[in-house]
């Protein structure tokens, strides 16, 4: 029987799943995903996690609870850094420890540290260590990683062409009826795990699409464009998400075809608290473009979210309609 490796459908799942899936399958293991996020996931997560943690971490706990009894290994790598001279949120660095010290009866964790802060070469070391949990055959691990990188590149290319990761991961067909109004381009800035999890963001993506908008995220912006844009900051941003978000939004501001910007943040997110503020300041200083901040937490009401999205899109449409009319005030 194949060894089962469990991957919680949360946090970095939305960024790296194709890579992980191919890698583990090439090593003859069965990849088991936790179920889609539901209110039960959140309930279980909230119960097992400290109150101060942010929503995505609580959801992650929920997914671990969901999957832990069905697998032989649980894949929770310790993400310290995924790019040179940049970190990810400290909570990712401590995630395996947080899980291990709060949830009982866990299967063994694959908790290899991934730290590319000093050099990208550390990736290979991490890969060998992760593979080492499952096989002794080093060449096999290397080959698996090569194949995994291919699927990751394929995934990344599709995203850069404008497909949302959730569409690829959930294999959704885009059957949403287009509204009769002209299509708007809305840039949505936020962590992947907030943007692409329909439960967390209360179906925001589908709702926006139904209103006749095309969604553009920072994941679709080319790396070079982002690097070029953030290099103008006086001090480099040391969070990977931070520099991608700021570089991405500066790129959106330069583009003429973006009709509005939404920043989706989760309550209590340390990185968002600074990055969102920096982005808002840059937007307000440079351009008269509609901008809204939507904050998620475990108490978010669906109705409040809907109202805000409705109002935001309506406002953009009214702006265009009124622009075409000659003002009554001369």
Partner 1 sequence: MIITFPHMGNTYIAVKALLDDIGAEYVIPPLSSKRSLEIGTKYAPEMACLPLKINLGNFVEAYEKGANTILTAGGRGPCRFGYYCEMSREILQDNGYDMDVIVLEAPDGDIMKFVGKIKKLAGSLNIYRILKVIKNTTLVAKRVDELERLAFKIRPREIRRGSTDRIYESFRKKVVDVKGSQEILKLVEDTKNQLLKLEIDKDFKPMRIGIVGEIYTTIDSYSSFNIDSILGNMGVEVYRENTISGWIIEHMLKAVVPFAKDKRYAEAAKPYLGTMIGGHAQETIGNTILYAQSGFDGIIQIYPLTCMPEIVAESILPAVERDYNIPILTLIIDEMTGEAGYMTRIEAFVDLLNKRRERVEVVENLALFGD
Question: Which residues sit at the interface with partner 1, rule CB under 8 A?
Answer: 49-50, 52-53, 78, 80, 85-91, 93-94, 97-98, 101-102, 113, 233-235, 237-239, 267-274, 276-278, 281, 285
List own/partner pairs for 278-286 with CB under 8 A and 24 or more apart: 278/246, 279/189, 279/245, 279/246, 279/249, 282/246, 282/249, 282/250, 282/253, 283/249, 283/253, 286/253
Are the C-beta atoms of residues 114 and 95 closer than 8 Å to each other? no
Task: Check if the beta carbon of residue 143 is closer than 8 Å to that of residue 137.
Answer: no
- C-beta of 48 vs 185, nearer to partner 1: 48
Q: Which is nearer to partner 1, 121 or 235 (CB)?
A: 235
Task: Assign 123 to helix, strand or coil.
Answer: helix
CB 177 to partner 1: min, Å: 37
Q: How far is the CB of 248 from partner 1 (least distance, A)?
A: 18
Nearer to partner 1 among residue 48 and residue 166 (C-beta): 48
Helix and strand tally (H, E) in the chain? Answer: 13, 10
Task: Report, in Å, the least distance between residue 262 CB and partner 1.
Answer: 17
Residue number, 284 or 321, with CB nearest to partner 1: 284
Distance CA 306, CA 43 (A): 23
Minimum Å gap between C-beta 271 and partner 1 is: 8
Closer residue to partner 1, CB minimum distance, 261 or 271? 271
In this structure, how many other beta carbons lie within 10 angstroms of the beta carbon of residue 54?
A: 24
Query: Which residue number, 58 or 207, has a Cβ lying nearer to partner 1?
Result: 58
CB of 244 to partner 1, least distance (A): 15
CB of 81 to partner 1, least distance (A): 8
State the Cα–Cα distance between residues 250 and 260, nearest whole angstrom. Answer: 13
């Amino acid at each position: 029987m194949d060894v089962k490796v469990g991957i919680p459908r949360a946090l970095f799942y939305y960024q790296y799943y194709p890579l992980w899936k191919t890698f583990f399958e090439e090593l003859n293991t069965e990849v088991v995903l936790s179920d889609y996020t539901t209110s039960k996931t959140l309930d279980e997560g909230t119960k097992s996690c400290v109150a101060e943690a942010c929503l995505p971490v609580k959801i992650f706990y929920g997914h671990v609870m969901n999957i832990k009894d069905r697998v032989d290994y649980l894949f929770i790598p310790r993400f310290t850094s995924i790019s040179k001279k940049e970190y990810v949120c400290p909570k990712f660095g401590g995630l395996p420890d947080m899980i291990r010290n709060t949830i009982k009866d866990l299967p063994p964790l694959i908790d290899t540290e991934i730290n590319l802060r000093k050099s990208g070469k550390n990736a290979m070391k991490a890969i060998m260590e992760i593979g080492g949990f499952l096989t002794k055959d080093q060449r096999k691990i290397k080959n698996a990683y090569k194949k995994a990188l291919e699927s990751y590149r394929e995934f990344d290319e599709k995203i850069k062409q404008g497909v949302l990761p959730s569409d690829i991961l959930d294999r959704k067909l885009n059957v949403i009826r287009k509204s009769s109004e002209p299509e708007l381009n809305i840039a949505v800035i936020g962590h992947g795990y907030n943007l692409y999890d329909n439960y967390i963001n209360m179906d925001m993506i589908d709702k926006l699409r139904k209103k006749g908008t095309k969604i553009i995220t920072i994941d679709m912006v080319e790396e070079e464009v982002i690097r070029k844009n953030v290099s103008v900051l006086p001090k480099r941003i040391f969070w990977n998400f931070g520099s991608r978000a700021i570089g991405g939004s500066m790129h959106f501001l330069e583009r003429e075809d973006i009709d509005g910007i939404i920043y989706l943040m989760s309550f209590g997110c340390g990185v968002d608290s600074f990055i969102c503020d920096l982005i808002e300041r840059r937007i307000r200083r440079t351009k008269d473009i509609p901008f809204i901040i939507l904050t998620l937490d475990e108490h978010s009401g669906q109705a409040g979210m809907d109202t805000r999205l409705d109002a935001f899109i309506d406002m953009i449409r009214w702006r265009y309609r009124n622009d075409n009319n000659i003002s009554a005030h001369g």
